[in-house]
């Protein structure tokens, strides 16, 4: 398949119709016109000259390969400026014609015709072609209306309709350009060049030529060219392009960096681990582009509706022209005029435009926040979710053991714990060492170390023998009733225990749990405030641990002791009662993510997270999730409002035909008003309110 950038694509309904025409060509059956991103995708075997003829019918052209994003953006701007100039000229000629008409009707008519031609010549040329092919779309409707108005001598109103339609087209193009430019600004974060170090010499190469294993030099202020590992240097890096986080992240030797991140101050030497096309940033940008072209159920319905809507309007217009004169003896001229006005009211542009700009704006806005939504359908789905199921480990918690409770019965407690656990790589030992380091307790060398599987470690510290491990290693002589009661209470609260004992007594206890993320409680509250009815935790941990976490962060409920297949079964059960999103890390929870109505992965750029879920939070926390839910709900509400406004304004205009009050200029204003309203309302999604919270 070949992909081409288009310019001059300003009408969503026209893009759909051109796509249908191209599909009729030989080898054109798989053709797609991506209106939101101004792209054409066709088989290489298709006749490009025939495709260009179809595109030219609506003023669209293929951008030549040598043009870059800047040229493409400029071409859109140039096209809009030209249309703007023609509309201004037409408007001036219109008012001149009104003045000249007082002395010379012939001169005024000539000026009216020139003004109408300047503001809508492309529409009318295409409309004439469509009439001969019996193809009825907005161009056909406007052409019939203009010819009809001129044929009954309504030069002023006919010209005014042409000018107002030109303004309508201009505003529609501007609205879509605004939405597209926000997405193109996102694409500009991609670096263009890299400085490769070979045999001690620096060489600037294009980003496409980078290979895995290349060593690149990144100076302060430069973009990191692709994903890699720091080999030399230390600096802070702005990862906003990947994660949406404004705060810089410190990087040093052997730490991962993402392509598209900006090096702030130090000089870094980075070993490339992925070619650019495989990097996190490239995948994100590609998915964001593709996401904007997946049709939501609402869009699919509108497109189907638009196919029948225009012929239906033509039928209504004919009825308005014919029935009153035949049945009620009305004036043919008056009702012919009313029928022409009905044709203009039938323009489906505002209706077709009610969804795309809102979808583009919503996806782009989320992408800027580091939330990757893989399609408009998932954006719409997120706005309908009423239940969110969370994996516990690594999602609501940090996935690292953390000493939360310390019971100290002897001054040697922390010294012994640190001395024995110092050389152990066990996750619980690392948690103990963090607590010892926190207390700034000096440690001694442990000797005669002996590990007992399933219990803990025996060792000598300063010549005395100690045991560090679970409660099974406590000798009977040291298990007093108070110690036993303390252990029972901690276990009931869901803690894993580490005890330190000598031959006669317990020196102290530590209650270890998986550390809850600091933001989890606030996030759950914000999700409930955003309209999520149920927040549920699904975990393989035992009941008491799950209960402890659930109560601390304010979840609706939880289910513990679940095996992976039981998680899937539970998600299936939940989907029977409502719309369910499942959030996990994108690796262990893949089956549950796939089973839910919507899969959301946390990953900070990991391949598995990007590939598994429908939505990816590129941060390593849930901080942006409430924002994504709110944006998606706004998108859904705006689309409903847009459809209601577009249909309501047209209905009001059509009702004016009953008393015979509908005029051509009221008809075009109703359509233009709807187009302007749906565009402006959709673009409000791009307005971000600054917040201080991460």
Q: What is the pLDDT of residues 68-97, one digit of tens each?
A: 444 444 444 445 677 778 888 888 998 898
- Tally the residues of the chain: 694
pLDDT computed for residue 360 by the predictor = 80
Closest CA relative to residue 626, chosen from 476, 467, 485, 519 = 519
**378: which 2 tokens?**
């998932």
Q: Say if domain 193-225+227-273 classifies as CATH 2.70.150.10.
A: yes
pLDDT computed for residue 67 by the predictor = 43
Any idea where the domains of the chain sit in the sequence? Answer: 2-67, 76-184+293-357+638-685, 193-225+227-273, 369-396+517-632, 398-516
Angle subtended at Cα 523 by Cα 517 and Cα 526, rounded to the nearest 5 degrees? 165
Give the pTM.
0.70
* Strand, helix or coil for residue 688: coil
| Residues above pLDDT 70, as percent of the chain | 86
Fold of 2-67: Alpha-Beta Plaits (3.30.70)
Residues labelled as active-site residues: 391
Q: What is the pLDDT of residues 118-152, one digit of tens each?
A: 877 777 777 787 777 766 666 777 777 778 778 87
Dist. CA 353–CA 522, nearest whole Å: 37
For the packed helices 155-187 and 138-151, what is the interaxial angle rounded to 10 degrees?
160
Q: What is the pLDDT of residues 365-392, one digit of tens each?
A: 888 887 888 878 888 899 999 999 998 8
Dist. CA 162–CA 91, nearest whole Å: 10
Q: What is the pLDDT of residues 175-210, one digit of tens each?
A: 666 655 655 665 566 788 899 998 888 999 988 888
Residue 156 to residues 90, 112, 147, 247, Cα–Cα distance (Å): 12, 7, 13, 60
pLDDT-derived band at 677, boundaries 50, 70, 90: confident
pLDDT computed for residue 244 by the predictor = 63
Closest CA relative to residue 310, chosen from 19, 54, 15, 13 = 13
Quickly count: other Cβ atoms within 10 Å of residue 687's Cβ. Answer: 8
Judged against a pLDDT cut of 50, whether residue 693 lies above it is answered with: no
SS (H, E, C) 642-672: HHHHHHHHHHHHHHCCCCCCCCHHHHHHHHH
Residue 258 to residues 107, 262, 354, 367, 416, Cα–Cα distance (Å): 67, 9, 37, 16, 42
Name which residue leads in pLDDT, 467 or 311: 467
Q: Say if domain 398-516 classifies as CATH 3.40.50.720.
A: no
Dist. CA 135–CA 652, nearest whole Å: 27
Q: What is the pLDDT of residues 479-529, one digit of tens each?
A: 888 999 999 988 888 788 999 999 889 999 999 888 888 889 999 999 999
Least confident of 234-243, 466-475, 681-690: 681-690
Fold of 369-396+517-632: Rossmann fold (3.40.50)
């Amino acid at each position: 398949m070949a992909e081409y950038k288009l310019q001059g694509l300003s009408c969503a309904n026209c893009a759909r119709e051109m796509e249908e025409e191209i599909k009729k060509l030989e080898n054109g059956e798989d053709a797609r016109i991506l209106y939101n991103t101004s792209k054409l995708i066709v088989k290489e075997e298709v006749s490009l000259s025939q495709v260009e003829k179809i595109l030219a019918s609506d003023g669209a052209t293929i951008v030549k390969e040598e043009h870059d994003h800047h040229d493409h953006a400029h071409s859109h701007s140039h096209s809009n400026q030209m249309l703007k100039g023609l509309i201004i000229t037409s408007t001036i000629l219109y008012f001149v014609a009104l003045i000249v008409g007082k002395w010379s009707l012939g001169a005024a008519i000539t000026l009216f015709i020139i003004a109408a031609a300047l503001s809508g010549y492309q529409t009318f040329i295409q409309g004439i072609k469509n009439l001969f092919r019996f193809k009825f779309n907005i161009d056909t409707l406007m052409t019939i209306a203009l010819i009809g108005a001129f044929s009954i001598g309504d030069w002023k109103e006919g010209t005014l309709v042409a000018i107002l339609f030109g303004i309508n087209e201009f505003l529609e193009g501007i609205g879509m350009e605004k939405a597209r430019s926000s997405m193109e600004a996102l694409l500009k974060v991609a670096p263009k060049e890299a400085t490769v170090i070979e045999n001690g010499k620096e060489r600037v190469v294009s980003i496409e030529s980078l290979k895995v294993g290349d060593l690149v030099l990144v100076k302060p202020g430069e973009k990191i060219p692709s994903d890699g590992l720091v080999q030399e240097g230390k600096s802070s890096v702005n990862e906003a392009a990947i994660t949406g986080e404004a705060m810089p992240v410190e990087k040093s030797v052997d730490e991962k960096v993402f392509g598209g991140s900006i090096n702030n101050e130090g000089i870094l030497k980075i070993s490339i681990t992925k070619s650019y096309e495989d990097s996190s940033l490239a995948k994100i940008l590609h998915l964001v582009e593709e996401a904007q072209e997946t049709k939501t159920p609402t869009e699919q319905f509108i497109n189907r509706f638009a196919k029948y809507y225009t012929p239906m309007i033509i039928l209504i217009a004919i009825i308005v022209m014919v029935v009153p004169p035949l049945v009620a003896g009305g004036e043919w001229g008056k009702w012919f005029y009313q029928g022409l006005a009905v044709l203009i009211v039938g323009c489906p542009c505002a209706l077709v435009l009610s969804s795309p700009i809102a979808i583009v704006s919503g996806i782009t806005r989320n992408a800027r926040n580091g939330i990757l939504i893989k399609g408009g359908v998932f954006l719409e789905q997120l706005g309908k979710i009423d239940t969110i199921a969370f994996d516990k480990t690594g999602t609501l918690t940090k996935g690292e053991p953390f000493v939360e409770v310390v019971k100290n019965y002897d001054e040697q407690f922390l010294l012994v714990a640190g001395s024995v656990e110092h050389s152990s790589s066990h996750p619980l030992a690392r948690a103990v060492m963090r607590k010892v380091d926190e207390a700034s307790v000096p440690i001694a060398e442990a000797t005669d170390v002996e590990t007992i599987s399933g219990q803990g470690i025996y060792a000598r510290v300063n010549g005395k023998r100690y045991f560090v491990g679970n409660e099974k290693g406590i000798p009977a002589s040291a298990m007093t009733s108070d110690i036993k009661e303390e252990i029972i209470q901690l276990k009931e609260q869901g803690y894993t225990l580490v005890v330190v004992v000598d031959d006669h007594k317990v020196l102290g206890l530590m209650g270890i749990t998986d550390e809850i993320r600091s933001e989890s409680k606030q996030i759950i509250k914000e999700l409930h405030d955003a309209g999520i009815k149920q927040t549920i935790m699904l975990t393989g941990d035992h009941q008491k641990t799950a209960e402890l976490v659930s109560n601390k962060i304010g979840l609706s409920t939880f289910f513990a002791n679940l095996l992976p297949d039981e998680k899937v079964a539970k998600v299936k059960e939940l989907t029977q009662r409502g719309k369910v999103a499942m959030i996990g890390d994108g690796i262990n929870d893949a089956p549950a993510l796939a089973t839910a109505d919507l899969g959301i992965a946390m990953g900070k750029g990991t391949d598995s997270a990007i590939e598994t879920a429908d939505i990816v939070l590129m941060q390593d926390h849930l901080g942006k999730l409430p924002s994504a839910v709110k944006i998606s709900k706004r998108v859904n509400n705006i689309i409903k409002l847009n459809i209601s406004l577009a249909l309501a304004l047209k209905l009001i205009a059509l009702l004016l035909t009953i008393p015979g009050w509908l005029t051509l200029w009221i008809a075009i204003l109703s359509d233009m008003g709807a187009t302007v309203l749906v565009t402006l309302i959709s673009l409000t999604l791009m307005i971000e309110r600054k917040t201080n919270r991460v």
